[in-house]
Amino acid sequence: MATLTIAAAQFAPVDDPAVNLETVRAAAAEAAARGADLLVTPEYTSYFTAEIDDRFVAAAQPLDGPFVSGLRDVARATGIALVVGVAESADTPDRFRNTLVAVLPSDELAVTYRKVHLYDAFGSRESDRIEPGDPGQLPVFDLDGVRVGLETCYDLRFPEVTRRLAAAESGAADVVVLPAEWVRGPGKEHHWRTLLTARAIENTVWVVGVGQTPPVGIGSSVVLDPSGVAVASAGATPGTLVATIDTAVTDAVRQVNPSLSLRRYDVALRGRSGGAAQR
């Protein structure tokens, strides 16, 4: 059995990476002081404006650029791991990558995840500016004996994403962390909490959803146990919540509800033609 204390910092990033890095630095110091092993921040933490346009492309940085280098300094200085959403430079002209980086306390990059499901819904068109990630990614890393899986925002609406992380033969995730910029709108708070809860229940896995706060996002960060019970939650204002992931709880839930072991279907990747349609 293993435990991992996770801090989720929700805030509204701005269009200045240096300012956002200082926000992460302050959140990491608070998280470390509260006993956290891992800090998770929202999607687009490095840079954000309400419109996904050429400004994002111009602001995007490589993974060895100043923002991620700053994250590595923060992890080393505070002694905790970080999962942070960044705008990463892309190979495709006029586009960037919507990327999560997981940084260990040693300052090493444990894993990166480039968003697969682009937000071409509810009037938005991420695919106009974002280079989609490879659907074959399986971003799971180990931290103090707990396996942490990564996905981003709109991925939540595709249940097979979490199922692949929770049932991976190479090392299933004990907890799935999901940084988001869940845009406000009619029913959106209900969608967010319902889908996060469903992912926890159907996979009997811990789920941590971390959202941007208003004016664009809804906040509403939450930590859910493998039975879908919220053990920590936040409203719409900036702040940090802390909760401890306990794999003993996971084992107890799975004794009662062995849905993963009873499943009769596996998740298979679609052909490349399915991915090409998002570009």
Q: Name the residues annotated as catalytic.
A: 43, 115, 153
- Amino acid letter for position 91: D
Contact 139, 158 (CB under 8 A): no
How far is CA 79 from each of CA 31, 67, 273, rounded to the nearest angstrom?
10, 18, 43
Q: How far apart are CA 60 and CA 62, in angstroms?
A: 7
How far is CA 2 from each of CA 92, 247, 250, rounded to the nearest angstrom?
42, 6, 10
Tokens linked to 180: 């988001």
Find all residues with CB under 8 Å of 261, minimum gap 6, and list them.
Answer: 254
Q: How far apart are CA 112 and CA 98, in angstroms?
A: 10
Q: How far apart are CA 149 and CA 147, in angstroms?
A: 7
Q: Which of 194, 143, 166 is nearest to 38 (CA)?
A: 143
